[in-house]
Amino acid sequence: MAMERIWDKILPLLLPQNYRLITFDWPFAGTVKDQNLYDPVKYSSVEGFADDLITLLNKMDLKAVTFVGHSMSGMIGCIASVKSPQLFKTLILVGASPNDYEGGFNSSDIEQLLSNRETNYENFASGFASLIADPTNEVSTIFYSDWREILDKVETPCTIIQTKKDAAVPHNVALYMENKIKGKVTLEIIDTLGHFPQLTAHLKFVEVLKGALAS
């Protein structure tokens, strides 16, 4: 997901385990104040974000990291792992999709979604559905990319975390990725609905996440 806030329920449950945790906002999150940092040519492809991830890890002198990517961020991690495999120990892909199943989100979208989630889950679900179907979204060209051909180049071990029913990324997408990724893949299904298990079933999600981190 684009915003750090999506992990607010998860981080406090991982910090006591002495993990070194690094979170950040992607440029398409709408939280970057200096709009001059956004290069529309570079970011017309998901590969531009993968290059940013590689640069970030190199600048922090990090290697063999476990990357947790939700939604399209999962594919960004896959691309980065192919380009710089030494930087990644494992990839944890949450509701990820290599094809055009989902749309982009900006900061106001997320704030509204989170607000609806707390007060009216029906509005939360319907709001998310309208967002993923909106072709006018400013980053829809990124999220409608097709990166299926990258999967058989991903050699980094992966854990795919999928909810029992996700309208944005159907179950067959997780099965497709499990079969196509070249490296070792573990598929974990969480018994909850929706595209945001870190919000809707965060305790179950943390349990699965800890298992993936320990493996």
| Helix/strand/coil (H/E/C) assignment for every residue in 159-188 | EEEEEEECCCCCHHHHHHHHHHCCCCEEEE
Q: What is the predicted pLDDT for the residue at 50? A: 95
What does the pLDDT average to over 113-119?
52
- On whether the CB atoms of residues 101 and 126 are closer than 8 A, the answer is no
Q: What is the predicted pLDDT for the residue at 183? A: 96
Q: What is the predicted pLDDT for the residue at 137? A: 44
Contacts of 106 (CB under 8 A, 6+ apart): 2, 28, 29, 30, 137, 138, 139
H or E element in which residue 213 lies: helix 202-214
Q: What is the predicted pLDDT for the residue at 95? A: 93
- On whether the CB atoms of residues 159 and 186 are closer than 8 A, the answer is yes
Beta strands, E only, 55-150: 65-70, 88-94
Q: What is the predicted pLDDT for the residue at 166? A: 87
* Nearest one of 109, 139, 107 to 29, comparing CA atoms: 107
**Selected catalytic residue, list 73, 81, 140, 166:** 166
Q: Is 195 a catalytic residue?
A: yes
pLDDT of residue 129 exceeding 60, the answer is no
Contacts of 171 (CB under 8 A, 6+ apart): 162, 164, 165, 189
Cα 215 to Cα 210: distance, rounded to the nearest angstrom: 9
**Selected catalytic residue, list 51, 70, 71, 140:** 71
* Domains with residue ranges and CATH for the chain: 4-214 (3.40.50.1820)
Q: What pTM was computed for the model? A: 0.80
Q: Is 166 a catalytic residue?
A: yes
pLDDT tens profile 144-200 = 578 889 999 999 999 999 999 887 788 899 999 999 999 999 999 999 988 889 988
Q: What is the predicted pLDDT for the residue at 10? A: 93
pLDDT tens profile 12-70 = 999 888 888 999 888 766 666 666 777 778 888 889 999 999 999 999 999 999 999 99
- Other C-beta atoms within 10 Å of 170: how many? 14
